[in-house]
Structure 1
C-alpha cells in the first residue's frame, strides 16, 4: 500500500502531524508513505527513514511569478511526479485551497480530508472524496490529524503508543556538538521569546525575571535566547543587559541547524510556536504558555512537558490582536513558569 500525506506548513503544524507516520507503519505492514511539504520546511522530513518520498511544494516562489515558464515547468513536474506513484489513499491534513489542488493533481480516487464545518478554506472540500468529522475526544491538533488518517484503517489511534522524531544529517549533528562544546558546563536552557502573533507573546519583564530566578536556582546554567527578527534579537539583548553574561544570544540558525541544537538542550521555554514543538518532537522537555490559543489543542503532551494557560476568561480567543493584550500577557506569572521549570529539572 502507498499513501500520500499532504501537510505543507507551518513549522509547528507539520511537527504536530509527525505521529501519523508512526501510526501508519503500525497499522499497515510494508506501507509506503510519501509526504508533500513546502520547501522551507523540508528539513523536518528530509532525513526521515520512514518516508519513501517527499514532494516539495514551492508556493511562495510560484505566487511571485504564476505564469512564468519556470512556474509552469515546476507544476508540470509536480503533477507528473505525483501521478507516477499511484496512491491508495491521499490524506489532506492541511485543509486549504493549495493542499486541495495538490490532492487533485495526484489523480487518486480516494482523497480524504477534514469535514467542511471545520475548514477555514471551505473550497478545500471540493477536492476531497471523503470528509472525516472530529470526535469529542479529538481535542489536540495531533489527535485531529490522526482521526483523519485512521478512519480507513479501522484502528483507533488512542489504543496505540505513538512517537515522533526529526532526523538530522551526521554533519549537522557534529556541528551542534561543536557549538555545545563552546558553552560552559551546567544546564542549558533555551528561551523562545518570539512567535508569529502579538497575542501569543509574553511581556519582556517576565522573561527578565524568569531568567534571574532560573540562574539564582541553577547558578552554573546558561540561558540561550533564540531569535528570528530584529525585535526578538533586541529583546534578547535587553535580557542580557539586565541579567548578565550567563544569558547568550543564539547564532541565527536555519531550521536544519536548529534541530540538533534543540535536541541537546536541557529545557525549552516558550509560547505557542514552532521551536517549542520541535523540542518536544526530538525529546527535549518543554514549558509552554498559551494566551490566544489553547493549551488543550496545542501543548506538547507527556510527563516531560508542562503548559500554562492564561487565566483570562477570554483565553483561547484565537485573536491575533486585542485591546486587553497587556493584561493577558501579565496574567501569566513568572512563578507559574518557574515552578514548572523546577518540576521538570528536579
Structure 2
C-alpha cells in the first residue's frame, strides 16, 4: 500500500471535517493507501477514530511554545523531525494550509524528493504557505470546510465526490454507564469563545419545552465556568442532568445514543454529526456556511441556525425539531 502523510494538526472540529475526504478516498481507491496523520498531541485520539488512519505522528507545538528554553523541548522536537524524515512517504497532503503546517510538510518532504499537495494560492488559508507545495489545487472558498477537503482530495486523486458526505466512522455500539435510559437531548452549551455562546435563558426555555415532550436534557462541561452555567440551566429544567467531566471518547459514546443534539459552534457538534444523530448547530459568532453541521448519506437531520452576529430564536429551534419528526 502507498504511504500517505496527512498534515492536519488541529483542532477537533477541523480534524473531523477531514474524515469524509478520507472516506471518499477509501471508496474510490480501496486498499491502496494507508494514512499516517500528523496531529497536535491533544487531538491524536480524534485522528485515530477514522479507520483509514494507521499511525499518528504527534506534533506538540502548543506545549513546546510554553517550554522553549527547556532541553527536553528541543529533544522532543528533534525526535519529531526524525519521525517525519524516517519514512519514505509516497505523497504528503497538507489540508491545514498554514505556514506552520507548510513547514512541517517541507521537513517531511525530505529536500523535495516526495511530492507535496495542498490548495493553490487563491484557495489556501495562508497564501504565503502555497509556495512550499509542489502541487496546488483550486477549490472554491465559499464551500463548507468538509466539502473543501473532499474537493481537494477529489482533485488530487482524480475522482468526483458523491453529493452527500459520509464521515466513515462506525456507529458505536458500546454504551457508557452515564447514558440515560430514557430519551434524551444533549445540550452542548460550552464553546471556545463567549461570542459563540447561546444565552442561558434560551437553553432553559428549550430544555423545558423538551421536558414537556418527554425528552430529558443532559449538559456537558469542560471548564469550571461551563460547569457553573450547566448547573444554573439544570436548576431551571426538570430532571436535567449535569454530566461529570468526561473524555472525548466517553462523550462520543453518550452522544451516539442521543435522540437529539443541540450545539453551539464546537467540535462536539461535529463529533455528534459523525454518529448520524439529529443535530442542530447554533451559530452566533461564526459563519454556519463554513463550519456548520451537515446532512450525510445516513442522516438528513442536520440543520444550522444563525450566523455571525446573530442569535437564533428558541421558536426557530422548536420548528426545526418538529420538522425532524423524531418526537413521539
Q: What TM-score does the superposition give when structure 1 sets the normalisation length?
A: 0.84
Matched, 1:179 2:166: no
Is the partner of 1:268 in helix, strand or coil?
Answer: strand
1:240 aligned to 2:269? Answer: no
Per-residue CA shift, 1:270-299, capped at 9, x if unaligned? 122111100011222211122332322222
**Which residues in structure 2 correspond to 1:115-154 (within 5 Å)?**
115-135=120-140, 139-154=143-158
Match of 1:322 in 2: none
1:258 and 2:251 equivalent?
yes
User: 1:210-230, CA deviations, whole angstroms, 9 ceiling, x for partnerless residues?
Assistant: 011111112xx3210111122
Question: Counting helix residues as a fraction of each chain, which structure ranks higher?
Answer: 1
Q: Is the 8 A contact 1:280 1:286 kept in 2?
A: yes
1:147, CA displacement in angstroms? 2.0
Structure 1 unaligned spans of 5+: 317-324
Change (3 A) 1:291 1:255: same
Q: Deviations 1:165-198 (Å, cap 9, x if unpaired)?
A: 1687x9xx4xx43222xx3x42111000121222
Q: CA RMSD in A?
A: 2.3
Runs of 4+ residues deviating >6 angstroms: none
* Partner Cα separation in structure 1 for residue 225 and residue 163 of structure 2: 44
Aligned to 1:110: 115
The equivalent residue for 1:340 is 320
Match of 2:188 among 189, 192, 200: 192
Q: 1:148 and 1:259 mapped to 2: Cα distance?
A: 28
Q: How many angstroms does 1:79 deviate by?
A: 2.1
Residues 1:208 and 2:204 are matched in the alignment: yes
Asked if 2 retains the 8 angstrom alpha-carbon contact of 1:295 and 1:307, the reply is no
Query: What is the alpha-carbon distance in structure 1 between the residues aligned to residue 276 and residue 302 of structure 2?
Result: 14
- Alignment partner, residue 96 of structure 1: 98
Alpha-carbon deviation of 1:119? 4.0
Shift of 1:118: 4.3
User: Separation in 2 of the partners of 1:191 and 1:308?
Assistant: 15
Match of 1:226 among 220, 226, 230: 220
| 1:230-273 deviation per Cα after TM superposition (whole angstroms, max 9, x unaligned) | 222222111122223x1111111122322222222221101221
Q: Matched residues in 2 for 1:248 and 1:202: separation? A: 19
Aligned to 2:5: 4
Gaps of 5+ in 2: none
Q: How does 1:301-316 map to 2 (within 5 A)?
A: 301-302=294-295, 303-310=299-306, 315-316=307-308
Q: CA deviation at 1:7?
A: 0.9
- Report the Cα distance in structure 1 between the residues aligned to 2:165 and 2:274, rounded to whole angstroms: 14
- Contact 2:13/2:268 (<8 A) preserved: yes
SS at match of 1:228: coil
Aligned length: 318
Distance 1:102 1:20 in 2: 21
Please say which of residues 334-343 and 292-301 is displaced more in the overlay: 292-301
Q: Deviations 1:54-76 (Å, cap 9, x if unpaired)?
A: 11111112112234332222222
Distance in 1 between residues matched to 2:73 and 2:127, nearest whole Å: 26
